[in-house]
Amino acid sequence: MTRLIEHVQRRGRRETPATDLGRSGTASDKLGLEEIAAVCRTLIASGLETAVCLIGNAIAALAARPDQWKTLRTAPHLAAKAVNEVLRFDPPRQFLLRTASEQAEVAGHALPPHSRVLVMLAAAHRDPHRFPDPARFDLARSARPSHLTADGAMELEISLARLVGEIALWALASRLPQLRPVGRAVRRPGGAVSGFTHLPFRASATA
C-alpha cells in the first residue's frame, strides 16, 4: 500500500494542477487516487485491528456462555446479530473523544463551544434504562433501541469489523461447532481499542 501511494504521488507531481479541476474549473468533489490509497492504508492498519479485537471479544463471550454458542451453532445466520450484540456488550472501541461545535447541554451541564467531551460508548451500552439486563450477553436481544457506534473515520473501521466478524463467526459456527476455552485469557492493557493479547481456545468439527 505504501508503494502504491508513492507511485500515485510521483504521478501526481508529473501532472498539471488542471487535472484536479472539474470542467467548470472548480475543485472536483471526487476522491483522488492518492486519497483513496491513503484511506485504504488507514483502514488496513487500524480497521483490521478493530476487526481482530471484535472477533476475539465475540469468541470470549460465546465460549463463556455455552447456551449462546449453541444458539449460534444451530443458526449460523445469526452471526450478524452476534456481532451487533458484541458491539454493545464488549465493543472494541469503548470511547470516543468529541469537540462541541456550539453551545450545548448534556445531563443538565452546560458545554461551551469547543469543549472536549469523552463519550463512553461501553458505559452507555450498559445503561439499564435503555437495555434490560445490560450485563447479559443475549443473541435474542432486540435491535431496538439501537446502541451507539463510532462515526466519522471510525465508521469505516466498524463497518470492516462488522463484515469480517460476521464472516468469522458464521464460519466458526457452521464448520467448527465445538468451541471451548483451554487456558487463561489475557486482556490488552488500556488503550483506544479493547481486546485480548492471549485468548486460547479450541475449535473443532467434532467433540
| pLDDT tens digits, 145-196 | 577 766 655 677 778 888 899 999 999 999 988 888 888 999 998 777 899 9
pLDDT tens track for 91-137: 998 888 888 889 988 888 899 999 998 888 889 899 998 899 999 99
Rg of the chain over all Cα atoms, to the nearest angstrom? 21
Which residue has 454493545 as its cell numbers? 88
* 53, pLDDT greater than 70: yes
Rounded-to-integer distance, Cα 120 and Cα 97, Å: 9
Whose CA is closest to 150, among 44, 50, 53, 58?
50
Element (H, E) at 85: helix 79-89
Which grid cell sits at 202?
479450541
Rounded-to-integer distance, Cα 160 and Cα 158, Å: 5
Q: CA distances (Å), 52 to each of 47, 55, 88, 167, in order?
A: 9, 5, 16, 12
Rounded-to-integer distance, Cα 151 and Cα 143, Å: 19
| Greater model confidence, 36 or 55 | 55
How is 60-125 classified by DSSP, letter by letter?
A: HHHHT-HHHHHHHHH-GGGHHHHHHHHHHHS-SB-EEEEE-SS-EEETTEEE-TT-EEEEEHHHHT
Q: pLDDT at position 5, please?
A: 58
* 71, pLDDT greater than 90: yes
Rounded to two decimals, what is the model's pTM?
A: 0.76
* 19, pLDDT greater than 60: no
Helix 48-63 × helix 79-89 angle, to 10°: 100
